[in-house]
Structure 1
């Protein structure tokens, strides 16, 4: 029983140590339909070996419902789906990759949610790990 709890704790700690983050855009940024937007996905270094697989960036409108839906359940319009290869750009920042995406010109004005699905392989056995991130912006 103790070994099972220890293994589960180590697995959870390893997974948390693999987390990515959205470095840009800032919460609440206002963008226009049809404009380009940079989405920066950061991936801090870890002691555990890992191999990056991909990210998916989606955009969903939140104006037709009381709250945005978690990207783990709905990504919305897919703006990017492909490889993820973060690198150092400035010594004070973690490795990251910028993705320039296009806001659809027909996208509804109001609150919107950028969702990022991050897929990586972790550890010596390279087990798959999926996490979702989100950031609220305004389409105006």
Structure 2
């Protein structure tokens, strides 16, 4: 019984560490070569954690299904530290990243992927999650 309870608590603490993409909204239209702000939110949690990094990538997939960022990040637009902060009292802590959409990106559907790496819990176990947002290249 203790093992089941321990596993449930571990799973709950891991899911409490989830990040979210606050911006861009689903389906936003952007032009090749333009700048895009990607907002990565990191809600507070009762579980201790230490942020490590985020990776932001884009894959162009007009006319074909996009591949999950867990399997393919596409072209890397940002790879570096993640330090979410409070900016407004009605939003969770977040960090904005300004990335450049490659000018060679084909028009049509594209998938913006975010990989979030953090250390969680008292023993700082590694935690990796991937997020995605579909945008349109026009």
Q: Same fold (TM over 0.5)?
A: yes
Where has structure 1 moved over 3 Å in runs of 4 or more? none
RMSD of aligned alpha carbons: 0.7
1:76-87 matches, cutoff 5 A: 76-87=74-85
Shift of 1:64: 4.8
**Unmatched 5+ residue regions in structure 2?**
none
1:54-69 matches, cutoff 5 A: 54-65=53-64, 67-69=65-67
Counterpart-to-counterpart distance in 2, 1:41 and 1:81: 13
Shift of 1:25: 0.1
1:1-140 matches, cutoff 5 A: 2-65=1-64, 67-140=65-138
Counterpart-to-counterpart distance in 2, 1:9 and 1:68: 33
- Structure 1 SS opposite 2:11: helix
TM-score by length of 1: 0.97
**Number of residue pairs aligned between Structure 1 and Structure 2:** 138
**Unmatched 5+ residue regions in structure 1?**
none
